[in-house]
Amino acid sequence: MVKCSKAEVRELKKTLHWKKLPEKQRQRIQMVLLREQGLAQPAIAAAMGVSLSTVNRAHMAYDRSGIKALKPKPCGGRQRQNMAIAQEKKLLARFAKAAGAGELLNIFDFKLAYEQAIGHHTSNSTVYGFLRDMAGAS
């Protein structure tokens, strides 16, 4: 099934020669080029060693948004953060002073300060996870 113009095919082939092209993007471009050569999606999936769903998603993304859609999406990092690391350290430092004086951490007071800092209520598990992560970071 041919869906690309000759110019688009040329652009795809040219992009394949880039040295710093991420492997996932290279693979997705190859899937689109194989479709342009007339291969069906099941045959492309078998040839590339991926699922039919992967091939279908690559084709739909390219048809919708062009070559930019084949670029892998960034992942990782602090995707569910409530505040910046500097703010977290500042909040923890307030309670660390009391701990340095030999006092125990009152989790209720800490949770209230945490909720005030983020501007909304949160669960106990979020606060305990925050403390666990901060203990592991130091």
Tens digits of residue pLDDT in 96-135: 877 777 778 788 888 999 999 988 999 998 888 888 887 7
This prediction's pTM: 0.55
Measured at the CA of 4, the angle between CA 37 and CA 17, to 5 degrees, comes to 70
Is residue 61 within 8 A of residue 70, CB to CB? The reply is: yes
Report pLDDT for 50: 95
Nearest to 127 by CA among 137, 113, 78, 136: 113
Both tokens assigned to 60: 């739909």
Nearest to 2 by CA among 37, 54, 42: 37
Taking only the tens place, the pLDDT of each residue in 60-94 is 999 999 888 898 887 766 666 788 888 888 888 88
Q: Which CATH architecture does the domain made up of 6-70 adopt?
A: Orthogonal Bundle (1.10)
**Boundaries of every domain in the chain:** 6-70, 85-132
Both tokens assigned to 138: 């130091």
Report pLDDT for 1: 62
What does the alpha-carbon distance between residue 8 and residue 69 come to, in Å, rounded to a whole number?
A: 14
Residue 138 has pLDDT above 60, yes or no: no
